[in-house]
Amino acid sequence: MTPAERRHLQKLDDLVLNASSEELKNIQEIDHQTQMEGLSLYEVYIDSSSLVNQSIKSHSKKS
């Protein structure tokens, strides 16, 4: 694993570990959707980390 991959993985870990219960529900939903598309949450997060993070937070505010 490259240093950049380690940093990205750490950011994803931090996102999950610091998430509220509502944010965790949204992460779980996103993870389920990505798995149905044959992707991993990590792959999607790396390709669009700011978009995923923003999506999780915005879903929490709506609930």
Q: What is the pLDDT of residue 2?
A: 86
Give yes or no for residue 52 having a pLDDT over 60.
Answer: no
Neighbours of 58 (CB within 10 A): 10
CA proximity to 26, closest of 39, 40, 14, 41:
41
Residue-wise pLDDT for 5-48, tens only, equals 888 889 889 999 999 999 999 999 989 998 998 988 888 887 76
Q: Which residue has the higher pLDDT, 18 or 2?
A: 18
Structural contact between residues 50 and 24, judged by C-beta atoms closer than 8 angstroms:
no
Helix spans in 1-63 (H): 3-17, 21-36, 41-47, 49-62
